[in-house]
Structures are given as C-alpha cells and as structure tokens.
Structure 1
Amino acid sequence: MEFLLSIVIIILLIIQNSRSAKERLHLKNELNKLHEKLNQLLTVSKEEEKTLEKDIEAEDAEESSSAAPEITLETPPIKVSEPIKIEDEKIDEKEAEEDVQEPVEPIKVVSFSKSAAQAEPTNKIKETPRVGVWQRFKQKNPDLEKFIGENLINKIGILILVLGISYFVKYAIDKDWINEPARVGIGILAGSLVLFIAHRLRKKYAPFSSVLVAGAIAIFYFTIAIAYHEYQLFGQQVAFAIMVVITAFSCLISLSYNRMELAILSLIGGFLVPFMISSGSGNYLVLFTYIAILDIGILTLAYFKKWHVLQILAFVFTTLLFGAWVFNDVYLESPNHIGALVFGFVFYIIFIMTTIINNLRTKARFSKVQLVMLSLNNFVFYGVGMLVLSEFKPNLSGLFTVFLALLNLGYALFLYKKYGLDKIAVYLLIGLTLTFITLAIPVQFSGNNITIFWAVEAVLLMWLAQKSKIKSYRFAAVIVQFLMLISLLMDWPSYVFKQAPLTVVFNPIFIGGVFVVASFVSVGLLLRHETNKLTKFGLTFNPKIYRKLSTVLAVITGYFVGFAEVAYQANAYFSFVEFLAVFMVYHLVFTAVLCFVLDRYKSTLNHLIINIFAVFNILVFTYVSFNLPRFQFQDYVLDNVGNTLAYYLHLLSFMLVVYFWYLLYKINKRAPNFGLFQNKFSIWFAVFTVVYALSNEVILQGLHIMSFSVNPDEFVSSNDAVIDLTYPAKYKIIKTGLPILWGVLAFVLLILGIKKQVKQLRIIALTLLGLTIVKLFVYDISNVSETGKIIAFILLGVLVLIISFVYQKIKTLVIDEDKKNEHDKTN
C-alpha cells in the first residue's frame, strides 16, 4: 500500500511541475515565433533589394549600349518596390503585436538602396543552428544558480518527501500501526485520488487522463484481490461482486469520457477477474455465466459506440478461456460434456448475432474482418463440439455437423428475406452450410455416400461462386471435386470385396459414379460462358482450361464407371469368355457414342481423336476379339456346356466396327490433311485387315452352323481336334468358302480402284485374285470332295472371267471419259 501512496504523491508533484514548465515553455515558444517572423521579414527585404539592383544594372547597360533614342527609357526603381515593401512591413508589425501582446519597437526599412542595406546593423537575428542537449540547456537556463534554487531543489525535495512518507507507511505497516483494513482503505483512497486527478485533466490532457484512469482501475482491482487473497477480509462472492462493480464502473467511465482505450481496459480487467479471485474450486457454471454476461455488456458497448475492436478482443479472450477449459475438462474422469456444449452454443450465438446485428444497423457491406469473424465463430464452435462429442457421443457427430449447417442456412434465409442482409454475408453463410454438409458426410456415413454428397456440393460451390463473385468458392469447388474423385477410387474396390451381391445398375457404387460424372459435366456447363482468369492465394483459376479438364475427366470417369459395373455383373453371371465379349461390346458402344458426339463438333482435334479410336477398335476387334466365339465353340462342342452368347455379342461388335470403318472413311475423305488413305502402306494394311476380318467371319459363321450337327464324341479321342479349333472348318470352309470370298473381294476392290482412279486398289485386287488362284490349285484341290471341287472351280472361274471383262470394259470407259473431260476443259 505504501508503494501505491508514493506513486500518487509523485504523480501530483510531476503534474504541478509540468504545469509551470509548460507555461515557461509556452512563453519561450511565442518569443521564438516572433524572432522567426522578424528574420523572415529581413530576409525577404534583402532578396528584393538585390533583385532590384540587378534590374537597374541591366537597364543601365541597355541604355549605354543602344544607339536608338526610342529604346532609352528611364524608370525610377524606388517607385516600383517601395509600396510593396511598406505594406509587407505593416502587416508584419501587426502580426508581431498580436503574437507578443507587448509593445515592440517596429523595425522600419527606410531605403532599399545599396547604402541603406550597408547601414543595417550587423547584430541582426539569424536562424540558430542545431545544438546539443547541454547547449540548449545553457540557453534555456543561463543562470545555473537560479535553476538549481528555483527548479531542481523543489523536485529533489518532493522526491525525498515521497520516499520519507513511503518509508513511514512501510514502517507503520511493519509495526502494525496500520491494520489490514486500513491498508485496503489506503489503496482505495489512492485509486480514488488518481481517478480524481484524471477527471480534472480529462479535457486538456485526454491521453494522460486515460492513462491515469487505467492506473486507478488497476489499483482498485489489485487492492480487492489483495484484500481477498492476502488478508481474507471478505469471501469469494463479495470479492467477485466488488470486481464486477469495478468493471461496470470502468465501462461507465469509458462511455463518459468517450475513450475506447478505457473500454479495452475494462474488457481486459473483466476477463482477469476470474483469475484474481480464483480459489481452484472449478465452478464452471459461475465462471462462464459471468463471461457470457461480460461479453453481452462489452458487445453492447461496442454496438452503440461502434468500437469493433472490443468485439474482436472479446471473441479472442472468450475463445482462449473457454477453449483451454474444454481441453482440460474433456479428459477428466468426470467431464462436464453437457455444460461444455451448452456454453459453447451460448458463446456461438452471442458472437454470431453481434456480428450480424452490427451490420444490419449500418446497412453496409460486411468487411473482411466481419466475414472472418463469422467464419471463425462457426469453426471454433464446431471444433469444440466435435471434441466433446468424440468423448461423449461419437455417433452424434454427423448430426451435430448437419445441425450447424442448418443454423447457417437459417440465418441466411431469414435475415436476407426479412432484413435484407448483405449478399456477400448471405453467400458466406450458404458456403458455410455447404462446407458443414460436406464434413457431415464423411463424419456420419461411409463409402459411396461421401462421393455422392461431394459431387453435389462441388456443383453447388461452383454455382455459388458465380452468383456471389467470391473467388475462394471456385477453388473450394475444385478441391471438393478432387476429394470426390479420390472417394470414388476408394469405392471401386468394393466391387471386389463386397460380400452381398450388388443389384444391376441400381447399386450404390454405380450410382455414386454416375453422380461424379454428372458433377464434372455440370461444372463444365457452368463454366461454358466464362473466360476471365481469377487469382486467389497465389493460385490462378482458368475457367477455359478447367472446363476442358472437367470434360475430359467426365469422359474418362464415365468409361471406368461403366467398365467397373459391367465387369462386376459379367463376372457374376457369365463365363470368362462371355465376360470378355461383354466388355468388348461395352467398349465399342462407349467409344462409338463418344465418336458420334465428337463428329458433331467438327475440329482437327476431334477428328484426330476419332481416327485414333477407330483404328484402335478395328485392330483390337480384328486381331484379338474374333477368337472369343471360337473359345466358346470349344466349350459348347467339346465339353457340351455353355451357350452361344459370345457369338451374338460378336455380331453386335462387328456392326459397331463397320460404323468405325465408316467414320474412318468419312473423316479422311472430308479432311484429307490426315493422309491416312494417301499412303500406300496404309491402303495395303487396311485391305488386308478387311480381308482378314471377313475371312474370320466366314469361318465363325461356318462354326456356328456346324455346332448344331457335330457330335462331340467324334473329337474326344483326338487331341488334335482339341488343339486345332478350326479343324471342322478346314475341309468345308477354308477350302471352299474362302476362295469365293476372296474372289468377290478382289472384284469389289477392282471396281473401286477403277471408279476412284486408285491404282493401289487395282493392284491389290489383282494380287488378291492371284493368291486365290494359287491357293485353289496348290492347297484347295487336295482332299476335297468332288462336289466341293466342282462348286469352287466353277464359281471362281466365272468370277475371274467377269473380273477380266469388267476390268477391260470399265477401265476403257473411265479412261475415255477422263480424256473427254480433259479435252472439254482445254477447249
């Protein structure tokens, strides 16, 4: 207490001395101002005099050097400058009289000639250079004896007196001359005295007065704390009540003085009260009830005075205090889970309502600080709630997340419709709603449900980004789509490890994949009209690139979603050969639809993609998948099991491959820059592929027809029959059917080569015809029945004659027609 009293006395002495020092300093400042103005006056006079002299000398030189009489004009210089200088002199004299308020002898300038300038006194006032501290002290106090006697001694005496009184108070306390209640009274008296001084100085010295008020409030707090902890003069409830009164009193003073720093002091003191009177009992009900009341009071003050710093500090202090208690309480043996959730919700409502109400009053746009407060308040409450529920009721975590999402949605709808809340804040609340819904899915559910909700949310975030113009929502949509894709990849192993069978198409894994594809397509459609790039957090969002990326991802994801479903269902219901046949049909159907869509949007890139798909599918079908019906024929004929599904699927695949041949021909005819059919090797390879594919088809059709009449017992004893799957067709198809087929193909190629003027086709036709004749006489004539020989030779012979006749006839007509057309053009 003696320390507090000494501080009060020192403050009084400093104030008294500072007043006298300030008065002396004020007089010196006024005199310095007067001297500066006089210096300026003399400086301006000399500059004008020099300018005037230069003008006169220039005119004299002109008069002496010029011979023309009309140029010599005499102008007295004194008449030009005297009136201006006299007016300036009078104005300066008046200003000097007003500043000093004492009779000062005016300085008069009699003449501006050179002689007058020389007659000026040499001891005129000049601008003083900057000097050190000791020089300035000597200038201000030239009489050192007077300074010591009048100024220094009284300060030293006051200091000695204060120390003496402090020692006396300490000695009195040590000797118990001043009891404990008196000590508390001295502290309160000292605080009151400081507060009284601050009140007297509040108008002239507002900042200094605020510091004194802060000191007085601090004295009150510490005095009550010492009285409670050290002297036990009253109980915890009384000390708490007194400190609440002190806090309320400090708030009233901040209102009265209109000083925000005093309100901040009240806030800090209010949050320190629980620590000052804490007894370690841990009564959280009283503690957080008091904090809630304190927050309401401080936030009300901030609302009326528009001191938004108070709201930020109250949120920070409340979060730190409540968060520290929750982290400590949740792991105790008997935690207060319900109390933590209740008070967490109370604080959440207090701060979110305060933020929104402050904006509703001003009808202004939400600032960045307010938007951050709105978001942080949600996430702090969510974090506290999830921490408590993880130890209390983990199964309610998802429901709690949805509850928080609905709260934000309710705020947005109600406040926007009824009070016209700022749209940015509304979009932020909607964004928070979507965020919490996003979090609720993985928290409450598992598996494909997460994928579905994230797919929907990504579209909503992108739509919300367009409506609200909030850049971060676009990046959030990208992140959610990435998480959606990861979740889908995690769902696909369920096809393998799923115990219960999945319904065809209408199963959760396939539906989740459909939602993912729809999400990519929807985002691409939303971005179809956007071109401007957006930058946020150092990242750039290009809508054109992301639209194309979404389209590509939609196609790739759609292909594998269908593939996973087809693979699972085919593996469950069909044999391995049929499984491969089903997959081949799916692949061809998907790529055919994709090529059909790409062909509608004609571009070089689309044509290139169609060419790649067409060539790839034709090659795979011709050289790989044609064996599938043969494998199934082996199972059906030799093992007498299975069915002919692969055969019919093969027919469907064959029709799709014909469509790809059509696309290949149409695109390369329309866009010859690809040059696919302009290369000799390409034409030979294409014809070979067609011949090979049709030859296999003839064999497969023969196998299919023969499978109804073949007795499996005929082949069981022969291993060659099992190894060579084409054994039944060697004598009936290869030796009879293929020569006829090749002859027909050679005829068709010859006609096309002649009509289209493609020499390579004509050469290929003749080559194929030659191979057919050689095959007929070298290989087919042996081990063939008489009927087969007759049919093959007669048909092939007729076909060769027809080809020869047509070749000569059509070629002559075409050549003659071409010559006629060329002749018409030249004429």
Structure 2
Amino acid sequence: MNTTALFIIILAYWVFLLHSKINHLEKLVNELRDKKRYVPLNEEEYVSTEELTVKDALQEASDETVALEADELQSSVKTFQDSHTPPEPSKVVSFISNYFTQGNLLVRIGGVILFFGLAFLVKYAAENSIISIQMRLLSIAMIAVVLIIIGWRLRDREGAYGEILQGLGIAMLYLVIYGASKFYALLSLDIAFALMLMVVLIGSVLAVMENALALALFSTAGGFLVPILTSSGDSSHIMLFSYYVLLNLGVFIVAWYRSWRLLNVVGFLFTFVIASVWGVLRYRSDLFSTTEPFLILYFLMYLTISILFTMKHPFRPKNFVDGTLVFGLPLVAFPLQVNLVHTMEYGESYSAIVLGTLYLMLFGLLRKKERTHLLSQSFLALSVVFYTIAIPYIFDADVSAALWSLESAAIIWIAIKQERAYARYFGEFLLLLSMVVYPESVNVYGITPTEYLGYIIVIAAALIASYLLDTHPKQLAKPERYLPKILLALSLILWFTSTPEQLIKGEMLYSHTLLFSLTIGALLLFVVTKWLNWKLLIHTLEGYLLLGMVFFFIMIADTLPHPHPFEGFGAMALGTFVFVNYIFLTHYDKVWKNTKQLHILSLWSIAIILMVELPYHARLLHMGESIILIAIIIAPLLLSIGLLIAKKYPSWVETYRREYQLWGVGGLVTVVMLWELGAFRLAPDFTMFTYMPIFNPLDLTQITGLGIIWYWIYRNADALSQQIKTVCYALLAFMATLLATVIFARAAHHFKDVDY
C-alpha cells in the first residue's frame, strides 16, 4: 500500500476524532445551560425594618455616583482589554494544541494502528499459511465483536471512546467478510453480501441510536478502506461495485435520520474520488454494461442524500445546501460518465441532456418549498450548465474545462450564499485554472465554432463569478478584493482572443474584427448592466471609446502606406462604433465620472477618422497635393463652424454646449493652427482650377481657418484669461501676416515663374 495514502487516512481519522470531541462538548454546554443558577438566600429577610430604612436611604443617595463610577470603570476595563488582549490563535494552531494536550492519545492512535495491522494481517495470511484460515478469520471476527460490545458499554464515556471502538469493530467485520470471500472463497457471494448488509444495518442503527457521528465515520471509512488496503488488481469489478453499493446504502440510511454532512462527504469522496484514483473502481467503456448501472445508482444515492441533508437539517439560513455534494457530485460523476460513453456516438451529449432534464425536474419539484428554495436554484443552475455543454458535445468539442468554469461559478455562488470561505476559495481556484486550461486545449491553428462556444461558456462563468464577488465585498479577504476586476479583465481578454477569430472568417481585416468584437461585446455588457446595474461593469464600459481608438490606429497600420479606414467593412465598423459610443454617452450621462471629457474625445475621434479617410479619396481622384492637404483639414473646419454657429444642439449634447465650444472646438482649432503652418510651405498646384490669388481653394481654406481661430477666441473670451487671449491674438496676427506674405509669394511663383 502507498505510504502517502496511509498518512492521508490517519489525517482523516484525526478529523473524525475532532468532530467527536466537538459533539461531546456541545452536549456538555447544553447540559450546563439547562442547570438552574444557584440563588442565595435573601439576606434582607434577616434585616430589621430600621436597618432596611437606613440601607434604602444610603442606596438612593449613592445611586447616581455608583452609576457614573460603574460606567467609567467599565470603559477603562474595555480599553485595557482591547489594548492587552492577545490575538486569537488560528484554527489550525488551536486544533494542533488541543489535539496534543487533551484526550488519550494512546487510544486514538492505537485504534488506527490496530485496524491497519489487521488489514495487513489478512493479506499476509492469504499469502503465507501459518495457522488455519478459518481460525485466523474467526479470531479477527471475535475481536471485532468484543470491540463492539465494549464500545456499547462505554458509549456514555467522555471522549467518544465507545463510539470509536464500535466503529473499529464494524470496520473489522467488513474486513473479515471481504477477506473470506475474496481471498479464501470461504463464503459465496450471496452469503458474503448478506452478511455485509447485516453489518451495514448494525452500524447504521448503532450510529442513529447513539447519535454518534464518530461511530458512523469510523465504520464507514473502515468499510471503504477494506478493498483499497487489500487490493491486488485482479478482483471482479462487479463484486467491488456491489460492495460499495452496500456501504453507500449504510450512508444513505444514516442520512435519512441524521444530517451529518461530514459522513456524506466521506462516503462521496471514497466512492467517486479515492476509489477511482486508486483503481479499485474501474470506469472503462469496455465495461459499460456492467459498470453504468452502478454509476447511475451511486449518482442517484448521493443526489438523494444532498436533498435529504437540506430537508433534514435544522432550519438555518446558512445550512440550506451542502455545496460539496450538490456541485461536486456532477463535477466528478459526469467525467466518469463521459469516460464510459466516449466511444458511443453522441454519448456525451445525450448524458448531458439527461442530467440537465433531471436537475430541471428537481427544480420544479423543490422550488415552491421555503426550505429547499436555495437547493432548487442550485439545481436550476446545474440544469442550465448541462443543457449548455450538451451543444458542443454534439459537435465533438472538448468542453471539460468549460464545465469546470461553470461549476466553479456555481460553487462561488453557493459559498457566498452560505458564507463559506474555503468553498469560495476552491471555486475561485477552479475558475482561474479553467480560464488558463481551456485556451490551451483548443486547436492552435484556429478556433472552431464549437470551441468558440466553449470560450463563451468560460467568459460567462468568469463574469458571473466577478459579479458575485464584487457585490459581496464584506465576505472577501483583502487579497480577494482585486479578484472581481481580474476576472473581468481576463474575460475581456478571452473575448478579444476568440471573437475576432470567428469574424475574420468573413474575409474582414483583423482590425475590423477587433472593432466589431468591441462593439458587439460592449452592447452585450450594456444589456447586462441594464439587467443587473453592476457598477464595476458600468465603469468598465467607460473605456469603450479609448479602446476603440486603439483599434482604429491598428486599422490605420493595416492599410499603410495609404491609410483607408473605410476599406471593406471599415465604414460599417467605424459607423457602429461611433453610434454605440453616443448611446453609452447618453445612457450613462449621470453615471460616468468623465462624461464631459468623453464627449470632447468623441468629437476629436470623429475628426481624426475623417482626417485620415478623406485624403485617401483625394489621392484616388489624382488630385494635386494642395487638394489632398485641404482634404486633411476640411473635417475639423466644418465641425468647428457647425459647433460655433449652431443656435441649438441635439438634446443629447445640449448639456455640454459650453464644453464642445470651448474645449472641443479648441482642440480642432489647435489642429487648424498646426495645419496652417504646414500649408505655408506648399505652392499651389491646381490642375482643375485657374489660379487666382486669394480666390483659390488653398488660400481660401487658410483664410477660413484663421477666421475660425479668431471666432473661437471671440466666442470664448469670457472663459479665457487675459494672458491666454493676448497670446492667441498675437499668434493669430503673426499667422495672418505670414499668410499675406505667402499669398504674395505664391502669386509671384505662378505669374513670374519665381522659385517658391
């Protein structure tokens, strides 16, 4: 047997003992609460009337003083305690301290050593004949019976020793029956299973009668350990599966009468995890006909146990649902089912549909009861999960990691509902792991539509988890408070990693797919914010414009050396991008912190887009360099004129009229100034017009530009300081003088053939 496994089992045994101790302490506390307080004789009965009168007078005189002194004393004591009380030790430190300083360690460790020793004794005796087989097994059986009897007599003793001895005896009986049947063939299968069923019933009845979790845990764990400790790899899988059915039947019987979560989890882990990892229970497709019935039976048993836990448990809001069983069961059982049916056509998808339907039916049955309301919601979430993953399985896509992500989001949800930190940590870890594993598991040469659906599942799970964590900050540890933003950022990265791969199949430029992905994703998130009013997501959408402009510059790089943003689907991509941007600006007008700034940036973005696109068409028409230069500045000029002379803006921007005219047009005017300086170096080269000084497109455009600069200064004179106005007018005068000189130079160049 693997030594590591032995240590794991011993650690599990320690946990069982700890539970027993807690149960015993709870009983003592309840007994103490039931005792009546000792009330001393009323001394006032022996006080004379005169003494009473004096006593009452003194009491009335000192009431106020005593109350004040008591308040001050209480405040001082509290301050002293706060400053001198040492921090409480952690649960791990307390557990180690209590375990090694309390109780009888010899009895605790001795029970474990005895069980393992007998287990190896049975195996050794099978290989080396020393005394007769019957005597060996009979001796162990007698020891087991004696331990049960002694444990029964000591059942009321402190420390749960009687319960442990009975559990050890039950486990030894499992060992004897299993060894006699498997190694020596002394018992037929029918007799062996009848005896095991009797032992299961005895252990279950004793555990329920004595309300002894330790007894149930030790007998159950011992029974599950028998085939693991004695496994030789050549036993019948039908016998092993049947043996585990009987053990789980005992867990089921106990669960019917007691809500012992730890016992349920132990049985679940041994049945689906430990036994499978150890190779005791083999879920192979070639054994489908003899294995599938057992897997279904196990699944239904623990599904029923998870429902019983909720219905039998005391009515407390924090203990409605056993999240480990509710979400762990399908998470572990479904991959085993996939392993059994992967050779069958659509086997995985049919299995997912059946599970989705089962959980949906349970939701319908349990949703109307207050006690099972949360459990029914959990089943509804699982139903959605399995219906969702059935689709990619139809197309043979591997969505195991996607299933992890949905399960982890469900675990986080139920952990937050029940305020269970460690379950939440596990869900967070599983989600992050799936977000890393899934992209690595898909085709590196291109994402198929079904694989893309897996991406959508992972992204949706990350968004759900991010929302749940962000809306319950009080439950989060300090490092966890960054996790909602991290999950949201990772989901956006996965979106921009996968979605353009699908859109590019429509023969778009990659930059166009990025912009379309941004617009589609932002609209979907916009719908989510309408439904959830999620503040983190609302403020994340505030970066839509800036990210879109980054993609626009990537678009320009794709079309160099002659930028043409409207090429192909570019016009549609940019048009929808700008349209959606103004939808957001209107809808989040009172929510976003930087709405004014985003309005100005939106104006400048439109100007930049047109400044890049219009020169391309001028070149396409083989216009001269002067017309191409005019095409660059025509959009800022027209936008500036429209914004400065308009008497009324559209209602969705009227609020920001002042900002548009001051800062918006101010930015455009700055561009016009820079353009003017660049245009001074250019001589007229018109091919479609007869050159006339001043009355030609280039000179008129520059004169118009200077006029707009003057009008902007004039309209915003009250908002500009005197110093800024002086600088602006000086620059304007300088540029006007320079323009007059340039116009004269251009005329001389044209009419006198003087070098410009």
Task: Please give the range of the TM-score, normalised by the shorter of the 2 chains.
Answer: 0.5 to 0.7
Q: Is the 8 A contact 1:201 1:209 kept in 2?
A: yes
Q: Which residue of 2 aligns with 1:551?
A: 541
Alignment map for 1:632-711 (pairs within 5 Å): 632-634=620-622, 655=638, 670=658, 685=670, 688=673
CA 254–778 in structure 1, closer or farther in 2 if over 3 Å, else same: closer
- Kept in 2, the 8 Å contact 1:581–1:650? The answer is no
Asked if residue 607 in structure 1 is aligned to residue 596 in structure 2, the reply is yes
- Aligned pair in 2 of structure 1 residues 363, 345: CA closer, same or farther (>3 Å)? same
1:376 maps to a residue whose letter is G
Query: CA 1:760–1:631 in 2, change beyond 3 Å: closer, same or farther?
Result: same
1:443 to 395, 398, 401: 398
Residue 446 of structure 1 and its aligned partner are, at CA, apart by 3.4
Q: Distance in 1 between matches of 2:130 and 2:567?
A: 106
Residue aligning to 2:295: 344
- Evaluate the alpha carbon distance shift between residue 402 and residue 327 of structure 1 in structure 2; reply closer, same or farther with a 3 A threshold: farther
Q: CA deviation at 1:426?
A: 3.8
CA distance in 1, matches of 2:136, 2:716: 120
Decide whether the 8 Å contact of 1:628 with 1:646 is kept in 2.
no
2:263 to 303, 310, 334: 310
- In 2 relative to 1, CA 414–669 (structure 1 residues): closer, same or farther, beyond 3 Å? closer
1:773-822 C-alpha deviation (Å, 9 max, x unpaired): 5456554267559xxxxxxxxxxxxxxxxxxxxxxxxxxxxxxxxxxxxx
Q: Which amino acid in structure 2 is aligned with residue 780 of structure 1? A: A
Gaps of 5+ in 1: 1-173, 529-542, 639-643, 700-723, 786-827
Q: Which amino acid counterpart does residue 631 of structure 1 have in structure 2? A: R
Matching of residue 728 in structure 1 with residue 687 in structure 2: yes
| Mapped partners of 2:130, 2:617: distance in 1 | 116
Partners of 2:332 and 2:318 lie apart in 1 by 20
| AA aligned opposite 2:673 | F
- Which digits, 9 at most, give the CA deviation of each residue in 1:477-525, with x for residues without a partner? 7676445423332235537963x647999x9998865552134324544
Match status 1:494 vs 2:486: no
Matching residue within 228, 237, 243 for 1:290: 243
Q: Deviations over 1:416-445 (max 9, x none)?
A: 13x334444344444445555676667355
Question: How far is 1:632 from its partner?
Answer: 0.8
- Residues 144, 169 of structure 2: 8 Å contact kept: yes
How big is the shift at 1:728? 1.4
1:381 corresponds to: 333
Q: Quick one: which of 367, 375, 398 aligns to 1:425?
A: 375
- The structural deviation recorded for 1:336 is 2.0
Match of 1:416?
367
- C-alpha displacement at 1:265, in angstroms? 4.2
2:220 counterpart (240, 262, 267): 267
Tell whether the 8 Å contact from 1:621 to 1:657 is kept in structure 2 after alignment: no
CA distance in structure 1 between the partners assigned to 2:325 and 2:347 by the alignment: 26
Q: Percent identity?
A: 15
- Tell me which residue corresponds to 2:619: 631
Q: Which amino acid aligns with 2:453?
A: N
Name 2:195's counterpart in structure 1: 242
Instruction: Indicate conservation of the 8 Å contact 1:451/1:484, yes or no.
Output: no
CA radius of gyration, larger in: 1
The DSSP-based 3-state class of the residue aligned with 1:425 is: helix
Distance in 2 (CA, whole Å) between partners of 1:561 and 1:341 is 52
Which residue of structure 2 aligns with residue 780 of structure 1? 747
In the TM superposition, residue 343 of structure 1 has moved relative to its aligned partner by 2.9
Alpha-carbon distance between aligned partners in 1 of 2:670 and 2:379, rounded to the nearest angstrom: 64
Question: 1:299 maps to what in 2?
Answer: 252
CA shift digits 1:564-604 (9 cap, x unpaired): 9x999x98xxx975746985897588558747965855998
- Paired positions, count: 548
Deviation digits for residues 322-358 of structure 1, max 9, x if unmatched?
A: 4236698467xx7324554543333222112112123
Amino acid at match of 2:493: I
Q: Match for residue 525 of structure 2?
A: 520
- C-alpha separation between the residues in 2 aligned to 1:602 and 1:299? 54
Q: Whole-Å Cα distance in 1 between the matches of residues 169 and 749 of structure 2?
A: 125
Partner Cα separation in structure 2 for residue 587 and residue 747 of structure 1: 31
AA at the equivalent of 2:325 = M
Contact 1:577–1:632 at 8 Å: present in 2 too?
Answer: no
Q: Could you list the per-position Cα deviations for residues 724-749 of structure 1 after superposition, in whole angstroms to 9, with x for gaps in the alignment? A: 99351575366642556666777787
Q: So what's the TM-score if we normalise by structure 2?
A: 0.54
CA pair 602-344 structure 1, distance change in 2 beyond 3 A? closer
Structure 1 746/559 Cα, relative in aligned 2: closer, same or farther at 3 Å? closer
Q: Deviations over 1:608-659 (max 9, x none)?
A: 444455457657756x55532331122x999xxxxx9999999888755655
Change (3 A) 1:232 1:559: same
Q: Which stretches in structure 2 are left out of the alignment for 5+ residues?
A: 1-128, 400-448, 718-724
SS in 2 for 1:336: helix
Contact 1:225 1:277 in 2 (8 A): no
Partner amino acid for 1:373? L
| Cα separation, 2, equivalents of 1:619 and 1:397 | 53
CA distance in structure 2 between the aligned counterparts of 1:180 and 1:760, rounded to whole angstroms: 111
Letter of the structure 2 residue corresponding to residue 443 of structure 1: D
Contact 1:585–1:649 (CA under 8 A) maintained in structure 2: no
What is the alpha-carbon distance in structure 1 between the residues aligned to residue 275 and residue 749 of structure 2? Answer: 100
CA contact (8 A) 1:524 1:547 kept: yes
Partner secondary structure for residue 286 of structure 2? coil
Conservation of the 8 A alpha-carbon contact between 1:582 and 1:649: no
Pairs within 5 Å for 1:735-754: 736-737=695-696, 738=698
| 8 Å Cα contact 1:397/1:443 also seen in 2 | no
Whether the 8 Å contact between 1:221 and 1:243 is mirrored in structure 2 is yes
Alpha carbons 1:224, 1:239 under 8 Å: kept: yes
Partner Cα distance (1:577, 1:432) in 2: 49
Residue 238 (structure 1) shift = 3.6
Deviation at 1:296, TM superposition (A): 2.4
Closer, same or farther in 2 for the Cα pair 1:272/1:476, shift >3 Å? same
- In the alignment, the residues of structure 1 paired with residue 576 and residue 273 of structure 2 have an alpha-carbon distance, to the nearest angstrom, of 62
Which residue of 2 is the match for residue 56 of structure 1? none
User: Which residue identity does 2:497 align to in structure 1?
Assistant: M
Q: Is the CA contact 1:412–1:426 (under 8 Å) kept in the aligned structure 2?
A: yes
Contact 2:356–2:384 under 8 Å retained in 1: yes
Contact between 2:167 and 2:215, CA under 8 Å: does it hold in 1?
yes
**Partner letter of residue 425 of structure 1?**
L
8 Å CA contact 1:753, 1:760 repeated in 2: no
Counterparts of 1:175-574 in structure 2 under 5 Å? 210=163, 213=166, 217=170, 220=173, 233-255=186-208, 259-272=212-225, 274=227, 281-320=234-273, 322-324=275-277, 329=282, 335-337=286-288, 339-362=290-313, 364=315, 365=317, 367=319, 370-388=322-340, 392-393=343-344, 396-397=347-348, 400-401=351-352, 404-417=355-368, 419-433=369-383, 443=398, 446=450, 448-450=452-454, 452-453=456-457, 481-491=488-498, 494=501, 498=505, 501=507, 514-525=519-530, 528=533, 544=535, 546-547=536-537, 549-555=539-545
1:64-75 correspondence to structure 2 within 5 Å: none
In 2, are the aligned partners of 1:298 and 1:310 still within 8 Å (CA)? yes
* Cα distance in 2 for residues equivalent to 1:739 and 1:247: 102
CA distance in 2, matches of 1:517, 1:673: 29
